[in-house]
Amino acid sequence: MAEHRGVVFPLDEASGRRSTAAVGRAVVADALLSVDPVGAASAARETNWRQGYLEHFRRLVEAGLPGAAAAHTIAREGLISVHARMRWTGPSGEVALAAAVEEPVTRLGSATIRGEGAPDRTISLPYAAERASGDRLRRVLAGWVERGVVEPSCAEAVELVIANPDWLDLSDQTIVVLGAAAEMGPLRSLLRWGADVVAVDLPRKDLWHRLIGDTRRLSGSMTVPVQPGSGPVESRLGGDLVHDLASVTQWVTSQEGPLVLGNYVYADGATNVRVATAVDVLTQRAVAERGRDEVSLAFLATPTDVFAVPGGAVARSVENYAQRHTSKVLRVPLRTLSGGRLMRRNYVPGEDPGINDSVVLQQGPNYLLAKRLQRWRATAHRADGGLVSLNVAPPTRTRSVVKNRALAAAYAGAHRFGVEVFEPGTANTLMAILLVHDLRVGAPAREHPWQDEAAAAVHGGLWTSAYDPRSVLGIAALLGLAAAR
């Protein structure tokens, strides 16, 4: 079966099962051990990982705050643990993960699809039923800052790209988009600007048919791996990172030019950890072969995670809590009836940095581990002197979100608590603009990794909301369902 081949969770000989909870618990404990042994022991003892994982992922952030060295240690030890614990199942059975890229490779060919349009050098963003550019886009940015939807540094970064439209000429970069069909990915924006993109996604004919159509209408080019065999090239496009990792890795690392490895992969459940691990193996090999100066990394961080946030965001939240529109009349009885679980403050006043915990329990520990793996790789690569673009993306109405009825309802009611949920076209274009900024400016490492993660964040208001997001999630969902009716 496909779920037992390629990059897999280890098989427990005693139970005959592949426990995702055991791996998640152990990885978090390993990451914490050197910096926070008490936290590590607590994670290792957690008996109900699927419900109890929240506090341990929060501790991964809190334990790194005393200094950059602590955050770097957590990131590196977490990465080591993932690579040591995850496994590769190939022709010779289940072996160490490192063996994945030593397997005999299937030599993949390449096909390049070229667009027929002219490059668009205008910085524009689809928003509120129009495409905003120039002064209109500046007003949109100013409105987001005023409402606490984005960090001020986000608006500053976009303003810098607006002032330098020549930055959109990315002919000096080989941008690899892993997860080319992802709704939040930058593929279409890059093609609109005329970039030559290397695209990797699953070998699915319908997926590539759609992407080829998009490419032809735009101005850039898309180079895609081609499976060997007979028949039309269009039916042999794509590469499977989880099951054919060595071949895809060899193909990606053989591309010419300085590489920008853009990680936009996503899958449901445990497969998300498997594909995130596969990308990290590819990343390690690419950096080892090409050198950190020749390989830049790009990621999108999920807003529904735990982050240290600047004092300015904390102060804005405290101000919102004090204002009338935060439903003072309902707040006291709801908090009393719920035993303090509902409508909690987002922060203790005066915290700097504050800890924002916007994790949604329903997304599960596998989702959070996959995203934390990306944050750890970003931290480690930046600490080694490599260029990293990691930006917090906004809450967005993607297909993966709206198919969950509870989350879709919560997003529909989120505006009642100062949270703006983005449309996919707005979100992915904005994040592509921030990618261009980071590639051109260099995204230098700041004093502490939490500051790198918070820079230019598009959190949608989760960081500045009056309330702890999880304490109003259910209320937002009820209000969203009522509005839908």
Shared-domain flag, residues 127 and 32: no
Report the domain count for the chain: 2
Give the per-residue pLDDT at 326: 45
Domain CATH code at residue 448: 3.40.50.720
Would 322 be classed as within a structural domain?
A: no
- Residue 188 near residue 218 (C-beta atoms within 8 A): yes
**Degrees (nearest 5) of the Cα angle 262, 470, 179?**
15
Q: Tell me the two tokens of residue 432.
A: 């592509």
Q: What gap in Å lies between CA 301 and CA 261, rounded to an integer?
A: 15
Give the per-residue pLDDT at 339: 56
Give the per-residue pLDDT at 451: 96
Give the per-residue pLDDT at 13: 76
Shared-domain flag, residues 370 and 272: yes
Give the per-residue pLDDT at 248: 97
Shared-domain flag, residues 161 and 91: no
Shared-domain flag, residues 14 and 137: no
Instruction: Please list the rounded mean pLDDT of every run of 10 residues in the chain (485 residues).
Output: 82 84 97 98 96 97 97 98 96 90 90 95 92 95 97 97 96 95 97 97 96 96 95 92 96 95 95 98 97 96 97 96 65 59 89 96 93 98 96 93 83 91 97 97 86 97 95 86 63
Would 46 be classed as within a structural domain?
A: yes
Would 72 be classed as within a structural domain?
A: yes
Would 471 be classed as within a structural domain?
A: no
Would 340 be classed as within a structural domain?
A: no
Q: Which of 100, 132, 166 is the last residue of a domain?
A: 100
Shared-domain flag, residues 23 and 153: no
Shared-domain flag, residues 44 and 182: no
Give the per-residue pLDDT at 1: 46
Q: How far is CA 404 from CA 178, 350, 409, in A?
A: 25, 36, 9
Peptide bond into 119 cis (omega under 30): no
Shared-domain flag, residues 58 and 154: no
Q: Tell me the two tokens of residue 182.
A: 């992802």
Q: Which of 66, 100, 134 is the last residue of a domain?
A: 100
Give the per-residue pLDDT at 479: 84
Q: Which of 75, 100, 125 is the last residue of a domain?
A: 100
- Residue 176 near residue 248 (C-beta atoms within 8 A): no
Domain of residue 48 covers: 6-100
Shared-domain flag, residues 86 and 121: no
Would 351 be classed as within a structural domain?
A: no
